[in-house]
Amino acid sequence: MRVLIDIGHPAHVHFFQRPIQLLQAAGHEIIITSRDKECALELLDGMGLEHHPLSALGKGGLFSLGKELVCRDLALLKVVKKSRPDVMAAIGGVFIAHVGKLTGVPSLVFYDTENATLQNAITYPLASAVIVPDCYHAWLPKRRHIRYHGYHELSYLHPNHFTAEREVAIANGLSNQGNTFFLRLVSWQANHDVGENGWSEVLLEKLINKLTPLGKVLISSEAPLSPAMEPLRYQGDINQVHHVMAFSTLFIGESATMASECAVLGVPAIYAAETGRGYTTQQEHRFGLVKNLHTIEWPALETCIDELLAHPKSHWQQARQQLLDETIDVAQFVTHCITTFPAPLQHYQSTLEP
């Protein structure tokens, strides 16, 4: 079987890494198309995965995204006509849905972001199947979607596939004693970020002033940092960042993905951004591992920090175990969907139970 995987973001690399390994081990041929966004190409290269870059992130805004949409659709169409895959898979999936409709190649779209309304509107009607976590609460094509118990991050951070190592974490920036606080700032250039704003410089300064006396602060940022904050930037190997996150005391950031990564690793997280996600909402209400803060003001953020730091580490370990007990090995599920599609929806239900 020939499978095309389209990568548009660093998180997509992580999501598909283990399914790609499982597919290759079963003898399937994998074709990877990529997009130059932040460290996506660096991650693919670091994992030794051959890939075909088709486009790069522009300056942001609808015009830039629209221009890239047309160019990337055409580039992907050429690859598909040449390689003739049996099936295509992607997160978000706008490009594979368009090209799949033109070529007749099935397109499997894995997604978890409800507020990407424009992208979803031009993707879901054309996709062969849309596959989402059971916490997803936006519109889906009625007879062409599959729900599962889990989160994207369990495709690569499930204990079946990832074991955090403290020595690796320390070598990549974790404090060898005391607390480490991991912060994440985003560039707000994705299609689902249009109209959103990030943290103010004043808020970031207050946050750092709060955390610095309590431990080491690491900042992962898509955006430039001020000269005063640049020394706090994460300098470790991007391929090893999850080891650092796994041993951090607390995550605070504008990235829902990284908040969810910490949650499945048993690290408390504050997702501080104007819009929410179904998965971080579920991780807060069901497991208490995430605090969703959509009014970005310092008093509210400080209160969340104090509340989470008041719990012992054992509290978060128990919460993580509950999460793992109620979810599935997503990498195995993704592999199963790719290798058995198309099949009646009932066929997939047996793979959904934890």
* Residues near 123 by beta carbon (within 8 Å), at least 6 away in sequence: 92, 93, 94, 97, 98, 109
136 plus 189 within the same structural domain: no
Question: Is the pLDDT assigned to residue 223 strictly greater than 90?
Answer: no
pLDDT higher at 299 or 352: 299
Number of domains in the chain: 2
Task: Looking at the structure, tell me whether residues 85 and 98 fall in a common domain.
Answer: yes
- If asked whether residues 314 and 334 sit together in one domain, one would say no
Q: Are 97 and 4 in contact (CB under 8 A)?
A: no
Q: Apex CA 332: angle with CA 255 and CA 253, to 5°?
A: 10
Is residue 242 domain-resident?
A: yes
CA distance 331 to 342: 18
* Average pLDDT score over residue span 78-95: 97
Are residues 309 and 334 both part of a single domain? no
pTM for this structure? 0.90
**pLDDT tens digits along 170-217:** 999 999 999 999 999 986 444 433 334 568 889 999 999 999 999 999
CATH number of the domain encompassing residue 124: 3.40.50.2000
| Between 39 and 327, the higher pLDDT residue | 327
Percent of the chain at pLDDT > 90 equals 78
Residue-level pLDDT at 62 = 76
Strand 145-148 versus strand 2-6 pairing type: unpaired
Query: Mean per-residue pLDDT for 264-273?
Result: 97
Give the C-alpha separation, 282 to 277, whole Å: 9
How open is the CA angle 19-106-127, to the nearest 5 degrees? 100
Q: Which pLDDT belongs to residue 189?
A: 44
Asked whether residue 354 is assigned to any structural domain, the reply reads: no
Same domain, 254 and 185: yes
112-121 pLDDT tens trace = 999 888 899 9
- Average pLDDT of the chain? 91
Question: In angstroms, what CA-CA distances link 296 with 3, 153, 203, 292, 326?
Answer: 42, 25, 8, 10, 31
Q: Are residues 217 and 316 in the same domain?
A: yes
101-109 average pLDDT score: 97
Is 81 part of a structural domain of the chain? yes
Model pLDDT, residue 66: 82
Cis status, amide bond into 342, omega within 30 of 0:
yes
The answer to whether the CB of 60 falls within 8 A of the CB of 37 is no
| 148 and 27 fall within a common domain | yes
- Mean pLDDT, residues 131-155: 94
| 63 shares its domain with 116 | yes
Are 190 and 271 within one domain?
yes
Domain match, 203 and 135 both: no
Nearest CA among 231, 253, 255 for reference residue 182? 253
Look at residue 244 and tell me if it is in a domain. yes
* Domain contains 269: yes
Residues 143 and 212 in one domain: no
- Kindly state the percentage of the chain with pLDDT values over 70: 92
**Is 182 found in the same domain as 303?**
yes
Span between the terminal Cα atoms of the chain, in Å: 28
Q: Is residue 107 part of a domain?
A: yes
Q: Average pLDDT in the 275-304 region?
A: 95
Residue 151 domain flag: yes
Give CA–CA dist 236/173, Å, rounded: 6
Residue 352's pLDDT is: 52
Mean pLDDT confidence for 275-299:
95
Number of Cβ atoms within 10 Å of the Cβ of 102: 14
pLDDT at residue 233 in the model: 96
Find the mean pLDDT for residues 24-53.
92
What is the reported pLDDT for 350?
45
Distances from the Cα of 339 to the Cα of 227, 324, 331, 333, 343, angstroms:
49, 25, 12, 10, 10
Which domain covers residue 134, as residue numbers?
A: 2-157+329-349
Does pLDDT of 344 surpass 60?
Answer: no
- Contact assessment for residue 348 and residue 337, using Cβ atoms and an 8 Å cutoff: yes
Residues constituting the chain = 354
Q: Is residue 340 part of a domain?
A: yes
Cβ-contact 204, 230 below 8 angstroms:
no
Instruction: State yes or no: pLDDT of 168 exceeds 70.
Output: yes
Tokens representing 141 are 């094509």
State yes or no: pLDDT of 67 exceeds 90: no
